[in-house]
C-alpha cells in the first residue's frame, strides 16, 4: 500500500500535501505508509483532549445504569432470559443474566471483526469455533471494531447469525459506542442528554436513531437543517431527494435577532463516514465559527490575536467529536477508499484555510486511540465481575491480568494494544493474524507479540500462554 499513498501525496499541491501529512498524524489507515505520521498522533495536544474529555470514569449513576447483568458469552446452560426496556431505548431488548461462577479466568480477549472474524461479510474459517470454545470455558471477550453506523443490537444480531454464536451488545464495542458516556456526562464533560447535538454520517438518518437509542434526546442532522433552510448550501437540489424521507422538524428555528429562542448546538458528532461531505463540511464549519453554537451567527472573537488559538473556537462553540480515525479502509474496490479520516482531513484543510492555520480542536476515538481501549477494558471488567458474582462492582475484583488483542491491522489493532497503558495494570498482548489487512511476509508497521495464521490459531496460542491444554480444540 505504500506506493499508493506515496504517489498520492507526491503529486499534490503543497497545501494539500501538508494537509495529508498533518491529518494522517491523527489517523491510522489501512496503509503502512501512515505509520510514522500516526506515531505523532497520540502525543498531540488535540488528542490529549480525548483523555480530558472522555477518559475519566463514568459518573456512578451512569455506571450503575449501564452495567446490566447481560453479558451473554457464558455457557448457554447458565443463561436465563428476560426482557427490559432500558431508559435510553424505546424498544425492549433481550438481556441475559449469567449464573455467577468463581472460576472466571484472569485473562480475556478482544477481537477485531473485519479481517478477523469476517471477510467481506462472510465468516472466516475457525472464527465460530474459537468463539464457541471461549463461551464454553467462561473466558470473557469483547468485539472491538472501528465499524459503526448501526446500533449495537443490530450489528450483534447480524454477527450472531453469521457466526452461529450467541453474542451480546454489552460486549460489543463499535467506534461510536463510547459516545454513550456523554449522555450522562463525565467528570470533565457535561451531560448532553437534554442538549441539542448535530449527528452526521451513515446511511439516511440511521446514526440519529443510534444516538437516540444511546439516550440523546435532541438529535439534528445536516439534512434536517438543509431541508428547512435550503439557502444554507446553494447546491441543495443535489441531495434533497435523499434527505426528504428522513427530515424532521428542528427543535427551534434559526432566529438570530432573538438568540434566546434560536437553534443552538452543544456538540457535533461524526458518528460514521459522512455521505454528503460538502453539506457536512459547510454546517460543521458554520458551527465552529459561530457565537456559542447558535447556527447562523459568527463569533466576534474569531481571529482575535490576544486570545488563545487566535480566538478560534474560544466562544463556546460546540465540541467536535470523530468516532473513527481511519484515513483509508479496505472495500471491494481494489485500492483503499477514503474513510472517516478522509472527511476529517478535508474539514481540517478547510478550517486551516479559513482561519489562517488555527488548530482544529476536536476529540477522536476509535482504535488505536486510548479511550477506545480503556472503554473496552472496562466492558471486560464488568463482564468478569458478573462471572465472579460481584454484580456491577467491577472495582471489587482483582483486575484482569492480561487481554489478548486479536487483530489483522498493525496500524490500529496492534498499535493500540501495544501503546495502551491500562489504568488497572492489565497487560495487553497483541496477536496479529494473516486473514485481513496485514500481508504475510511483510514487516508490520507495529510489531505484535506474535503473528499466526488466523483467529483460531490466535486463540489457541493465547490459551497455551495461559497454560491451557488445547489438544481438544477443534476447528
Ligand atoms: Mg480488521
For position 62, what pLDDT does the model report? 34
Q: For position 190, which CATH number holds?
A: 3.40.50.1000
Residues 218 and 255 in one domain: yes
Place of cell 435532541: 218
Give residue 114 CA to ligand 1 midpoint distance, Å: 4
Query: Region 180-209: what's the mean pLDDT?
Result: 96
pLDDT at 51 over 70: no
Interval 3-36: pLDDT, tens: 333 323 333 233 333 333 333 333 333 333 333 3
**Residue 188 shares a structural domain with residue 290:** yes
Q: Is the pLDDT of residue 214 over 80?
A: yes
| Phi (first) and psi of residue 284, to 5 degrees | -65, -45
Per-residue pLDDT band for 103 (boundaries 50, 70, 90) equals low
CA of residue 395 to ligand 1 center, whole Å:
31
Other CB atoms within 10 Å distance of the CB of residue 79 = 18
d(CA 119, CA 302): 47
Ligand 1 centroid, distance to 407 Cα (angstroms): 6
CB 295 within 8 A of CB 262: yes
Looking at the structure, tell me whether residues 207 and 279 fall in a common domain: yes
Ligand 1 geometric centre to CA of 354 (Å): 35
Preceding amide of 393 cis, omega within 30:
no
The more confidently predicted of residues 174 and 42 is 174
Per-residue pLDDT at 119? 87
Residue 54 CA, ligand 1 centroid: distance in Å: 24
| pLDDT score recorded for residue 467 | 92
How far apart are the CA of 425 and the centre of ligand 1, in A?
26
Same structural domain for residues 311 and 394? no
Instruction: Report whether pLDDT(388) > 80.
Output: no
Going from the Cα of 66 to the center of ligand 1, the distance in angstroms, rounded, reads 27
119 is a domain residue: yes
**Which pLDDT score, from 0 to 100, does residue 387 have?**
73
Per the domain annotation, does 227 fall within a domain? yes
Quick check: is 474 in a domain?
A: no
- The per-residue pLDDT for 104 is 62
Q: What separation in Å is there between the alpha carbon of 426 and the centre of ligand 1?
A: 23
What spacing in Å lies between the alpha carbon of 256 and ligand 1's midpoint?
A: 46
Ligand 1 centroid–CA 143 distance in Å is 11
As a whole-number percent, the residues of the chain with pLDDT over 90 amount to 64
Ligand 1 centroid to Cα of residue 112, in Å, is 5
Q: What is the arithmetic mean of pLDDT over 336-346?
A: 94
108 touches 171 (CB < 8 A): no
List the beta strands (DSSP E) in 3-128. Answer: 79-84, 93-98, 107-111, 118-119, 122-123
The answer as to whether 81 is a domain residue is no
Rounded mean pLDDT, 414-432 = 97
Q: How far is the CA of 159 from the centre of ligand 1 (A)?
A: 15
In this structure, are 278 and 189 located in the same domain?
A: yes
Domains of the chain: total: 2
**CB–CB of 310/354 below 8 Å?**
no
Same domain, 429 and 302: no
Residue 242 lies inside a defined structural domain of this protein:
yes
pLDDT value for 188: 85
Domain range for 225 is: 178-364
In a shared domain, residues 326 and 182: yes
Task: Report, as an integer, the average pLDDT of 465-469.
Answer: 92
Position 28 in a domain: no
Distance from residue 137's CA to the centre of ligand 1 (Å):
25
Question: Rounded to the nearest whole angstrom, what is the distance from the C-alpha of residue 115 to the centroid of ligand 1?
Answer: 5
Give the model confidence (pLDDT) of 261-305 as tens digits: 999 999 999 999 999 999 999 999 999 999 999 999 999 999 999
Any domain includes 279:
yes
- Identify whether residues 357 and 372 lie together within a single domain: no
Say whether both 376 and 333 belong to one domain.
no
92 pLDDT band (50/70/90 cuts)? very low
Which of 330, 364, 398 corresponds to the end of one domain?
A: 364
**Cα separations (Å) of 132 from 74, 270, 473?**
10, 34, 10
Burial 298-308, CB ≥16 within 10 A → b, else e: ebebbeeeeee
Instruction: Give mean pLDDT, residues 42-55.
Output: 39
Q: Of 324, 342, 364, which residue sits at a domain end?
A: 364
Say if 90 falls within a structural domain: no
pLDDT band at residue 313, thresholds of 50, 70 and 90?
A: very high
Q: How many CB atoms lie within 10 A of CB 98?
A: 21
326 CA distance to ligand 1 centroid (A)?
A: 11
415 alpha carbon to ligand 1 midpoint, in Å?
Answer: 13
Ligand 1 centre to CA of 127 (Å) is 13
Expressed in angstroms and rounded, the spacing between residue 168 Cα and the centre of ligand 1 is: 20
Q: Do 455 and 397 belong together in one domain? A: yes
Q: Mean pLDDT across the chain, nearest whole number?
A: 81
C-alpha cell at 42: 497520540
Q: How many angstroms does the Cα of residue 406 sit away from the middle of ligand 1?
A: 9
199 — pLDDT class (breaks 50, 70, 90)? very high
Residues 228 and 206 in one domain: yes
* Domain final residue pick, 364, 388, 403: 364
Q: Is 87 exposed, middle or buried (0-12, 13-18, 19+ CB in 10 A)?
A: exposed
Do both 278 and 249 map to the same domain? yes
pTM: 0.77
Amino acid at each position: 500500500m505504500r506506493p499508493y499513498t506515496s504517489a498520492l501525496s507526491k503529486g499534490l499541491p503543497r497545501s494539500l500535501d501538508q494537509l495529508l501529512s498533518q491529518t494522517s498524524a491523527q489517523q491510522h489507515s489501512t496503509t503502512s505508509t501512515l505509520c510514522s505520521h500516526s506515531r505523532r498522533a497520540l502525543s498531540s495536544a488535540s488528542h490529549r483532549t480525548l483523555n480530558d474529555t472522555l477518559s475519566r470514569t463514568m459518573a456512578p449513576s451512569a455506571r450503575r445504569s449501564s452495567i446490566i447483568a447481560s453479558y451473554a458469552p457464558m455457557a448457554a446452560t447458565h443463561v436465563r432470559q428476560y426482557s427490559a426496556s432500558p431508559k435510553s431505548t424505546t424498544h425492549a431488548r433481550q438481556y441475559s443474566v449469567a449464573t455467577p461462577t468463581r472460576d472466571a479466568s484472569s485473562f480475556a480477549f478482544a477481537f477485531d471483526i473485519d479481517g478477523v472474524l469476517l471477510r467481506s461479510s462472510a465468516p472466516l474459517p475457525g472464527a465460530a469455533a474459537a468463539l464457541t470454545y471461549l463461551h464454553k470455558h467462561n473466558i470473557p471477550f469483547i468485539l472491538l471494531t472501528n465499524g459503526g453506523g448501526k446500533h449495537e443490537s443490530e450489528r450483534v444480531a447480524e454477527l450472531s447469525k453469521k457466526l452461529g454464536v450467541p453474542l451480546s451488545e454489552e460486549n460489543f464495542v463499535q467506534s461510536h459506542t463510547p459516545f454513550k458516556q456523554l449522555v450522562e456526562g463525565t467528570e470533565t464533560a457535561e451531560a448532553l442528554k437534554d442538549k441539542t447535538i448535530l449527528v452526521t454520517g451513515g446511511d439516511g438518518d440511521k446514526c440519529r436513531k443510534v444516538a437516540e437509542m444511546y439516550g440523546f434526546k435532541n438529535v439534528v442532522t445536516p439534512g434536517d437543517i438543509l431541508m428547512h433552510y435550503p439557502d444554507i448550501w446553494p447546491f441543495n437540489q443535489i441531495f434533497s431527494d435523499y434527505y426528504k424521507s428522513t427530515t424532521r422538524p428542528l427543535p427551534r428555528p434559526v432566529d438570530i435577532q432573538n438568540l434566546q429562542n434560536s437553534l443552538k448546538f452543544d456538540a457535533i458528532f461524526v458518528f460514521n463516514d459522512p455521505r454528503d461531505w460538502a453539506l457536512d463540511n459547510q454546517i460543521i464549519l458554520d458551527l465552529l465559527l459561530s457565537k456559542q453554537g447558535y447556527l447562523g451567527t459568527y463569533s466576534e472573537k474569531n481571529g482575535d490575536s490576544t486570545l488563545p488559538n487566535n480566538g478560534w473556537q474560544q466562544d463556546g462553540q460546540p465540541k467536535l467529536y470523530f468516532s473513527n480515525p481511519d484515513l483509508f479502509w479496505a472495500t471491494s474496490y481494489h485500492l483503499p477508499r477514503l474513510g472517516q479520516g478522509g472527511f476529517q482531513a478535508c474539514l481540517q484543510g478547510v478550517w486551516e484555510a479559513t482561519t489562517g492555520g488555527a488548530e482544529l480542536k476536536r476529540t477522536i476515538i476509535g482504535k488505536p486511540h486510548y479511550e477506545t481501549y480503556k472503554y473496552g477494558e472496562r466492558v471486560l471488567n464488568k463482564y468478569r465481575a458478573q462471572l465472579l458474582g460481584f454484580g456491577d462492582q467491577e472495582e471489587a475484583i482483582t483486575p484482569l491480568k492480561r487481554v489478548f488483542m486479536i487483530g489483522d491491522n498493525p496500524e490500529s489493532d496492534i498499535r493500540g494494544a501495544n501503546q495502551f497503558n491500562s489504568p488497572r495494570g492489565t497487560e495487553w498482548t497483541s496477536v496479529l493474524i494473516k486473514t485481513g489487512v496485514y500481508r504475510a511476509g511483510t514487516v508490520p508497521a507495529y510489531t505484535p507479540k506474535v503473528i499466526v495464521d488466523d483467529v483460531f490459531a490466535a486463540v489457541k496460542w493465547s490459551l497455551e500462554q495461559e497454560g491451557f491444554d488445547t489438544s481438544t480444540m477443534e476447528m
